Homo-oligomer: A and B are copies of this chain.
Amino acid sequence: MVVSYDLDKIAKKLNLDIKDISRAFKKRIIREYEYKDTKILLFKKEFKHLEKGTVIFLNDNLDVVRGYPKTYRALVLYPTLKKHFLDKIVVEEKLNGYNIRVVYINNDFYALTRGGYICPFTTKKVKKYLDLSILEDNPNYMLCGEMIGLNNPYTPKYYEEAQKEDENLGFYIFDIRERETNKSLPVFERLKLCENYRLPHVKPLAIVDKEEAHIKVREIIKELDKKKREGVVLKDPNMDVVPLKYTTHYTQYDDLREGFKFFFDMGLDFLFSRVVREGFMSYEFKESLEERKERAKDIGEAIILPMVETIERVANGERVTEDIELIFDSEEDFYEYLEFLRKVKILIKIKKIERVKNKLKVLIGKVYNRTNDKVLAYLNGTLWGE
């Protein structure tokens, strides 16, 4: 299979030695994926200088779309921001959805997930809601943004600003990059372009001096926390150093609450990283014992309450699922998306299908077999070895 590609050309295009790319194939770091007639290779893991989620289109050009880099986190704002940044810091809101890169290749638009898959659902939604002529004018760009809203299949959270006629869904650009080099446009260039092309985008909340950033960001975070928003991404105006993220107490709480609904499917790192963030935040915010206990109560409840609810539901004979409502413009779109979920091995149950004004409103239930099976087994007397 591997030999059927022109490995030499692919290696050259990716700046890899032929030996390295062969090894990446052998170790299953590179996978094949097909969407309609479009064939791509994608990197399942970081490899050499290439980010996880990097994609190469198997067309004549061998178009490359680099993966979106991991964003590191400040556990404490001070001195992390002061040390990391150069001078000014642009504070942008971090939206809680899923990361998407939109590209224009072979006269067509594609929306790639963080992992590098072409998502049919997202591809159709961005084509529907966005004027993407910016990419026709600049096919070397990728639009990097967050798909948010209650009616998305991966991170369903309601956002007031994402309300459309039929669904709660919106795409907000937070970065424009050259897709082959992964070089970001400076923040203000990106903002100007988004305005010129009337593209929805994340707007700066503030521009602050790095010396006092920790004070300003803390104030912003406290405001965002009250509004139950996720947090901030902090950027150098010229993108000369990588962005950093910092999230609200609400996000840590909400992540745990969601994670513990399916606690045997949750990664242990997921749990640990949320509580550690809370520890450093409580310390840095110089909380009183009373405030600290209030935080602890939230974290405790985010862990215990959804877990017990799941146990109760399984004990009552239910198989618990994460239920998400999605809107499709046609049956064909729906079936295409189901086919996609099958390919990327996301297990779902279809719980309800309604036809609403020529559209399909579908309730899908994500299946978490591990949690269901384990809870049932322990409730039936299986011994626990930990």
Contact = CB atoms under 8 A, between A and B. Distances in A.
B84 A283 contact: no
Interface in A57-105: 70, 72-76, 79-80, 82-84
Given A268-B269, A379-B76, A380-B79, A311 B283 contact: yes
A296 interface: yes
Contact of A84 (B273, B315, B383): B383
Interface stretch (A123-131, A301-309, A339-347): A301-309
B268 A384 contact: no
Given A276-B307, A312-B283, A381 B300 contact: no
Nearest to A386: B273
Contacts of A300: 295-301, 303
A279 interface: yes
A272 B273 contact: no
Nearest to A385: B72
B296 A303 contact: yes
Nearest to A244: B383
Contacts of A268: 268-269, 271-272
A235 to B, nearest CB: 14
Q: Which of A75, A272, A298 has the most CB of B within 10 A?
A: A75
A280 interface: yes
A215 B312 CA distance: 19
Interface in A281-335: 282-283, 287, 292-293, 295-301, 303-305, 307-308, 311-312, 315
A360 interface: no
A263 interface: yes
Nearest to A268: B268
Contact size range, A: 35 or more
Nearest to A312: B283
A383 B303 contact: no
28 contacts: A70-B385, A73-B383, A73-B385, A76-B381, A83-B380, A84-B381, A268-B269, A269-B386, A271-B271, A271-B272, A273-B384, A279-B304, A280-B378, A282-B308, A283-B308, A283-B311, A287-B308, A292-B305, A292-B308, A293-B301, A296-B297, A296-B303, A296-B305, A297-B297, A297-B300, A299-B300, A299-B303, A300-B300
A278 interface: yes
Contact of A279 (B75, B298, B308, B385): B308
A275 interface: yes
Contacts of A74: 381, 383-384
B304 A292 contact: yes
Contacts of A263: 276, 279
A364 B280 CA distance: 28
Contacts of A312: 283
B304 A282 contact: yes
Contacts of A298: 300
A197 to B, nearest CB: 33
A304 B283 contact: no
Given A304-B282, A311-B279, A311-B283, A383 B72 contact: yes
Contacts of A292: 304-305, 308
Contact of A384 (B73, B83, B295, B303): B73
A300 B282 CA distance: 13
Interface in A336-386: 378-386
Contacts of A75: 378-379, 382, 384
A378 B283 CA distance: 12
A68 to B, nearest CB: 15
